[in-house]
Amino acid sequence: MPISFSCPHCGHATQVADQYAGQTGPCVSCGGQVTIPLPGGKPSGSPPPQTSGTSNSAGAIIVVVAVLGITVVCGGIMAALLLPAVQAAREAARRESCQNNLKQIALAMHNYHDTYKTFPPAFIPDENGEPMRSWRASILPFVEQMALYDRYDFHERWDAPENEFAIGIAIPSYKCPSDPSSAGAPTDTSYVLVTGLDTIFEVGKQARIAAIIDGTSNTILAVEIHNSGINWSEPRDLDIEAFVAMFGPGGTGQASSPHPGGLNVVLADGSVQFLSFNISQQDARALATSAGKERIGAF
């Protein structure tokens, strides 16, 4: 069957036998080189149409971009959903670390009691009755700080030049990792005694276990507060009235604790409890006193 075609140079139309399909030769009219098309009008050796491939490639690119976009969006949503859980897990770990610190302090206090037959007083006074140093300095050998204890001058005030080096030393077991002051003042302590009338550490009384009439499991030994502004060697703690005011409706506790909803306390038996700010001020006072014979509700 003859093949009809036109010269691409001069437009001259002609026909040739199909046996010449795909061959190249001069146009009879202008002499330009012409390739005889295949039956159906497709030139021999011509590349396949690109339109479909281009479309497919573009489509593939669009699909990939769409998938990546979905992945990014989903990843952002997942991160937003997981962030509170991650933060809660971190806070739980910090709270547990804080509780371990209080356990170490309680153990140190009990070892001190075994050695001296009394807990250390909240502070050691000078000849004028003024506080010289904190109980935290007294228990240094029992919190693995014997070298610091040996260098500390117990004949001088905590802030005397002789003890200036100690003020700049951070003791890990005296600091809660959740305390926001950790970065700014790492030598400040997060742990204080509750002092005042009828507490274990009432001024002028020896702090003996035998004097805890309410029972060691019902009486607070030490508590945590944040942003205390108290250097660990400074003889300053928390008065019972300030402690009681932290609890109940309108209490000041939320501003005094690094943990949401309450604070860690260690009881005189060495057990650590998380004390909710929702307990009554009556129960808070009962826990802080050692010989009041009060009935204590759940906490």
Give the tens place of pLDDT for each residue, 108-144. Answer: 999 999 999 999 999 999 989 899 999 999 999 999 9
Give the tens place of pLDDT for each residue, 189-220. Answer: 999 999 999 999 998 888 999 999 999 999 99
Residue 212 has a pLDDT of 94
Residue-by-residue DSSP string for 210-229 = GG-TT-GGGSEEEEE-SS--
Residue-range domain boundaries for the chain:
3-35, 91-288
Mean pLDDT of all residues in 255-263: 79
Number of C-beta neighbours around residue 220 at 10 A: 23
d(C-alpha 51, C-alpha 60), whole Å: 14
Smallest CA-to-CA distance from 235 within 154, 144, 142 is with 154
SS3 186: coil
Query: What amino acid occupies position 73?
Result: V
Highest mean pLDDT range out of 34-43, 89-98, 99-108?
99-108
